[in-house]
Amino acid sequence: MLCYKLDELAEGRATVWGLQSDLKPGTAAKKIGDSLATVILSNSQWHAERLEKELAGPYRGGEGSVDEGEVEQAREDVKAAEELIRRTAERRRPKLVR
């Protein structure tokens, strides 16, 4: 489960934290990333790499196998996450006043 901590948000930080699904008392949250966009990018990269390895592997071609279209979509997802981070960074830059 992904979440934010209210004190982090109050300080202007968008750190993403992860909790285990069982939520036992005393379970500590683990830092997952500095922002939701970075978490999305990391997950997209992992997924694309996994699909690329599976496509290149020796055990392919049967039912449920990865095809080139799936790999290409995963690569596009990585590009989209990178673009999201770039656009977000642009909005945070201070505008020059003349």
Mean pLDDT across 36-58: 93
User: Which amino acid is present at 55?
Assistant: L
Query: What value does the mean pLDDT of the chain take?
Result: 87
β 16-18/30-33 pair status = antiparallel
CB-based contact 42:30 (threshold 8 Å): no
Q: How far apart are CA 36 and CA 3, in angstroms?
A: 9
pLDDT tier at 21, thresholds 50, 70, 90: confident
Q: Answer yes or no: is pLDDT of 29 > 90.
A: no
- What is the pLDDT confidence band of residue 61, given thresholds at 50, 70 and 90? low
* Mean pLDDT calculated for residue range 68-87: 95
Query: Are the C-beta atoms of 54 and 67 separated by less than 8 Å?
Result: no
Distance CA 6, CA 17 (A): 11
Tell me the whole-structure pTM to 2 decimals.
0.76
Residue 95: per-residue pLDDT: 61
- Which pLDDT value is given to residue 27? 76
